[in-house]
Structure 1
Amino acid sequence: MRQVRDLRARQHKAAPTRAQQRAKTSEARRRLADAHRSAAADRRLTKAAGGGRGGALGKVRAGLGRLRDAAVKKARSVRGQRTEAAMNGHRKSAEMKRLAARKAPARRAARAALWRSAVRTHARRLLAGLLAAPIGLLGMVTTPLGRKLGWAWLQHPGRRLYRRLAAIAQQHRTRRDTAIRDRLAAAEAAIDAEDTATPDVVGDRAERPAGRVPGNSSTPATTYEGVHVSGFRFEEAAAEMEAAAQSYEPDGCMEILAMVEGLPAALTCIANVMKILAERADAEFALEKEVAGGLNDIYTAMLGTVAVAEDLGPLFRNVHAQDIARHETPRNGHEAEKGWNV
């Protein structure tokens, strides 16, 4: 066992990351294959040096061997470029998903603001129609008179009033929408700048602490379906949370409010679990890069749930503002507030 540990330590020192280990293994296999082909070519050249019919056939085989070696080198180069392009595509896709999750709250707020702006414009158009309606009825009398006298200001006064008010409402909406889009662009630019300064993706090697993090030695090791488990059972913790939610009986709605306002922090902790697993899968565990990328995708998706949970607390306080006020700012004390037996 000690020799195995020493061998693994030397291998880890020679190639600290999984990417370097894969590259080293591939290079060793290629060198071995090249050595076999080179030995075969030397045998053919030796046979060709003997002359005669066998020598001519050996020369032909040697030429074909050189062509094959060139084709193998070209195929290796193309395969390496294709693999690198695929990995870059996966990294770029994960980066775009992560940025989209970080920009989702700002975009959602911008969409809501644009929707409110549109509703406000349509409300002002409706109000303009209500104001122009009686004037339009008056225009049924003034319009024929204006035509006879040649006075344009007496013709269709309700229609002209509605068009003017609707145009003003549209101008105000255009200014509001432009300001909303400018704020969204500034928020996205700030996120991009922060992401450029502090990237948060699974790279070729995740940053790890300088020393080993001490674990909980008191946690007993268990066996699950023939697999040795060292103590971390995410599904057990999730099952306990599910059971707690099913048997949850709050003392009051204010306790539910506290739970809702604590959801972003709880979901952030769960997302950090996925992030830690992605980093360790990339740097420590004997896993391929695709697995670490998948865990990083889960982490990115969890960030989106955190953003949604952050909006739930203000929504709760908004729709239950009166109920919350009776608890936080009761009139003449809580006992007096109980007079409303609702």
Structure 2
Amino acid sequence: MARGTAWAGRRASTGARRVLDKARQRQDGRSARDLAAKRSAIRKAPARRTARRALLRSAARHHGRRLVAAALAGTAGLVGLVTSPLGRRLGIPALAQPGRRLYRRLMGIAHKARAERDAAIRDRLHEQVAALDGDQDDEVKDRVERPDHLAPLISSPTSERDFRVPGFKFNQAAAEMEQAARTYDPDGNMEVVEMVDTLPEAMESIAKTFLTLAERADKEFAFEKEVAEAFNDIYKNLLGAVDFATELTKTFRKVHEADIARHEEPRNGTQAEKGWNV
């Protein structure tokens, strides 16, 4: 009964962790998209700033031509004070309102020139943005040369035995576990039963090791988010190993139910069970 309750509790805990992991994945996805959008905006900002200044210069040039056209049209308008009545009297439209017609002609040319300039500026901006999108994988972090004086001064080891990594030595702990498994010599099969019963808890502890590394890589260490996500992926995969370890415990006890019962629930005492050469 207690084992069933513990198993149900672990299953519920696993389900809760999966829900939390999915929520975190969605949050990380949104954060990654926001970060990518901000990085893209930063990469494209110089090109857009250059295009914006070019458009402002184009607009200023256009308005300058407008002033010139207005001045020329004003001069022609003074002449039109004489030619317009004469043109209407003689029936010659070309002599009427020369200033207005000159202004329309000059501004038509100016509008066309501005449209062509602005289109060229926008096309150039689109080409630059497309080039930046194509080179977005070439980040500064992949191209920058690290100064030698900032690199840690680690002398080259003469052999593998001379090289030591301070801090958390997960490979050493794993090697010790492997060696313990190779040299394991149980006093009896019931000792193996006890070991198998603790496997789910042990695998869960190993999985939580990588969950802790993922959380610290995300919050404490100066790592990119991809590193924390990789640690979290290992954690989620190891949760599957916890489920397999639980199934192993159930299978082990099921196929050896009679043998285990003779030790855990002996009939008429342990001495009586010895009649079965237990």
- Higher relative CO (Cα under 8 Å, sequence separation at least 6) belongs to 1
Whichever of the two has the greater Rg, that structure is 2
So what's the TM-score if we normalise by structure 1? Answer: 0.41
